[in-house]
Amino acid sequence: MDALARLTSKGQITVPKAVRDALDLQVGDSVHFRVEGQVVVLARTPDLLELAGSVPVPPRIQGKSWEEIRNAAWAAQWGENEP
């Protein structure tokens, strides 16, 4: 799909409706711009809440607080024994 938009004097553009529809963009959504040479790629950034539950939690850390998990990861990184 190709779509055109005009840059305003303030450096703003309106994302064309066809593009908003194709990416399912809604008011308040964030987008990501990546420059590849003379081409810009616009991508919808995922809502992190949509990812909840998509990664299984290993049984060894289920029920632990985030602080406990983080401290254990730091200890493992630095070769210390877990408490």
Domains of the chain: 1-44 (2.10.260.10), 56-83 (no CATH)
Which one, of 8, 30, 33, 3, lies nearest residue 18 by Cα? 3
- Is it the case that residue 53 has pLDDT exceeding 80? no
* Residue 71 clears pLDDT 70, i.e. is over it: yes
Asked whether the predicted pLDDT for residue 18 surpasses 90, the reply is yes
- Dist. CA 29–CA 19, nearest whole Å: 13
pLDDT at 82 over 70: no
User: Whats the size of the chain, residue-wise?
Assistant: 83
**What is the model's pTM?**
0.54
**pLDDT(11) > 70:** yes
Is 45's pLDDT higher than 90?
no
Nearest to 14 by CA among 1, 31, 38, 35: 31
User: Which one, of 23, 8, 52, 54, lies nearest residue 33 by Cα?
Assistant: 23
User: What is residue 81's predicted lDDT score, i.e. its pLDDT?
Assistant: 56
